[in-house]
A and B are shown apart, each in its own frame.
Chain A
């Protein structure tokens, strides 16, 4: 029993190496096929890497929420300070900053260029404002909305503005991109199957005589198919390795300018490449796609060849 298993393993190992040898003997054709697979895999992968990085980057932004609490005109600085103190005592609030009406007016005067026009006004039209920063734990979209509602209920509060719309839009956009990514990956994945299938089909037609002879001496379809399946596996593996290299190069080329760009915005953002686990998964997937393509082509075309 053990020797039968050994013989079986030895036969497969031999076929595996045999089909690799055959591919190596036609380096140009093999390289072309592998390059096509590598490009087809690299496109969605690169997209995935960018998306992954976008998610990492915006995860930080999600926690940078602030609430602008505009007080009523009747609420003077003392009452604003009292409310600020009250809010600071809340467990879900990290910091409260008071911008008095006078400060706001002075800032608006200097930054807007409407100085003269403002002088024409009687009194200050701007209210006292509190800038409330929630704690990290309370920075989820749900709890910030709850905080907003709770502050709105307080006396002297005119309105609370929670600037989350753009974050929601961004998240929605990332969601759309993720769907696009899956669609692209699906399409390009099937193109890998088709490319391998077509290459194997041509290979089978080229070796038609050989398959005929094998069948004449009693080879089963499965036996005749085996070397082609292994060719598909090699194509897939080669293409997967090619794609990983393409991504590594692309990340290397982009990471420095992107880091500089992020630094200009005061961010520590660093482009993250493929991790080891992802690489293993990519290679596994590309091998599976190669195998599938060759299986479909070989099963169909080898059955059709009869001596």
Chain B
């Protein structure tokens, strides 16, 4: 599902974030991306979501070389991937329902279908009752779950998450991780970047450990 082949990433400020990274994640797998901050975790996720492009090397998603995805292909490509952000990236002036429905609205799904799938996604993260709330009325953990609901509402084949438990206390963090595990159990490929090694000890999963832009 995800294959990195000798990927280098140098940012315009001259920093080398990735220096020859190669790894392979099979479809349906759960994988953790670990390492200290600055080790290149975020860069890898950004390359997958086409937020950044590799300086050298190739990234394959679902057997498609991402360097071939350009222009109008980018939105279509992103619709196939669910992304969860550490800072949630919710729209604070819109209710939870609209935040979760956003990927479906963007993809042009009919209204009736949208409501059904939006509720199903909220149900999966246990927030069906908060449908009409605004994101800022929710706790951080709840906001993170809204972000996850938004990431899974379009039934993506791949779910990536950048430090999804970074701001949560251990109990909530475990709850969120179990949520990802459940999603993985129903067949979604999940890649989670985290520095919380104790937390991921609870899960049997592939680990990709990064240090200074290399896989170790």
Task: For the complex, give the distance between the alpha carbons of A54 and B118 in Å.
Answer: 64
B89: chain A residues within 8 A (beta carbon): 209, 212-213, 216
Decide: A213 near B102, CB < 8 A? Known: A10-B111, A11-B108, A307-B51.
Answer: yes
Task: For the complex, give the distance between the alpha carbons of A7 and B109 in Å.
Answer: 8
Contact present for A214 and B110 (CB under 8 Å): no
The number of inter-chain residue pairs (CB within 8 angstroms) is 52
Decide: A218 near B107, CB < 8 A? Known: A210-B91, A213-B89, A307-B51.
Answer: yes
A182 in the interface (beta carbon within 8 A): no
Contact present for B83 and A216 (CB under 8 Å): yes
B146 in the interface (beta carbon within 8 A): no
A214: chain B residues within 8 A (beta carbon): 102, 106
Task: For the complex, give the distance between the alpha carbons of A3 and B49 in Å.
Answer: 32
User: Shortest distance in angstroms between B178's beta carbon and chain A's nearest beta carbon?
Assistant: 24
| Total contacting residues, chain B, CB less than 8 A | 22
Q: Which residues of chain A in 267-298 are interfacial with respect to chain B, using CB atoms and an 8 Å cutoff?
A: none
B56: chain A residues within 8 A (beta carbon): none
Contact present for A220 and B72 (CB under 8 Å): yes
Of A7, A10, A209, A216, most buried by chain B (CB within 10 Å of CB) is A216
Contact present for A217 and B108 (CB under 8 Å): no
B103 in the interface (beta carbon within 8 A): yes
Contact present for B79 and A218 (CB under 8 Å): yes
Decide: A3 near B102, CB < 8 A? Known: A213-B89, A218-B76.
Answer: no
A109 in the interface (beta carbon within 8 A): no
B83: chain A residues within 8 A (beta carbon): 216-217
B119 in the interface (beta carbon within 8 A): no
Given A217-B150, A219-B75, 13 additional A-B pairs, CB 8 A: A210-B91, A213-B90, A214-B106, A216-B78, A217-B78, A217-B154, A218-B75, A218-B103, A218-B107, A219-B106, A220-B75, A223-B75, A307-B49
User: Footprint of A on B, CB under 8 Å?
Assistant: 49, 51, 72, 75-79, 83, 89-91, 102-103, 105-108, 110-111, 150, 154
What are 20 inter-chain pairs, A to B, with CB distance below 8 A?
A: A8-B108, A11-B105, A11-B108, A209-B89, A209-B91, A213-B89, A213-B90, A213-B91, A213-B102, A214-B102, A216-B78, A217-B78, A217-B79, A217-B83, A217-B102, A218-B77, A218-B79, A218-B103, A218-B154, A307-B51
Closest 5 CB pairs of A and B: A218-B79, A218-B78, A217-B103, A219-B106, A220-B75
